[in-house]
Amino acid sequence: MAFVGTESVWAAEATECANEQGRFWDYYAKLFEKQGGENIGAFSKETLQRFAADLSLDTAQFSQCLAAGKYSSKVQQETDQGRQQGVRGTPTIFVNGQRVEGGSEYRLLRSAVESALGQR
């Protein structure tokens, strides 16, 4: 969900660009390691390109992908879809397509999973 502003959109797009090189999860981990606040430069395009270099990605391919906005439509579509499904923040957890209010609380998540399993 890229809903925290421009930098979160760029970070989501950058992760898709890293995915082209089979490094989605490595890049994802780097973003979480380096987060430092919302829209303060922590995820500027230059910083995102540096992360790609740190991970030994093909930086030319990565930079071209990011600069072209290759995944901007995909990121926007996924964000819109999340909003339509009631996502207002992260984490938001779904079980069998149903949003679990307070789902990051173990007791509530367990109850939702057990209920879904009982519906089999």
Specify the pLDDT at position 120.
Answer: 60
Two tokens, residue 43 = 């995820």
Specify the pLDDT at position 86.
Answer: 86
Return the DSSP state at 99: E
Instruction: Give residue-wise pLDDT tens across range 32-89.
Output: 999 877 777 789 999 999 999 999 999 999 999 999 999 999 999 999 998 998 888 8
User: How far does Cα 21 stand from its chain's mean position?
Assistant: 17
SS3 27: helix
Domain extents in the chain: 6-82, 90-118
CA-based angle 84:107:114, to the nearest 5? Answer: 75
In this structure, are residues 52 and 73 in contact, taking their beta carbons and an 8 Å threshold?
no
Instruction: Give residue-wise pLDDT tens across range 75-119.
Output: 999 999 989 988 888 788 899 988 898 878 899 999 999 999 987
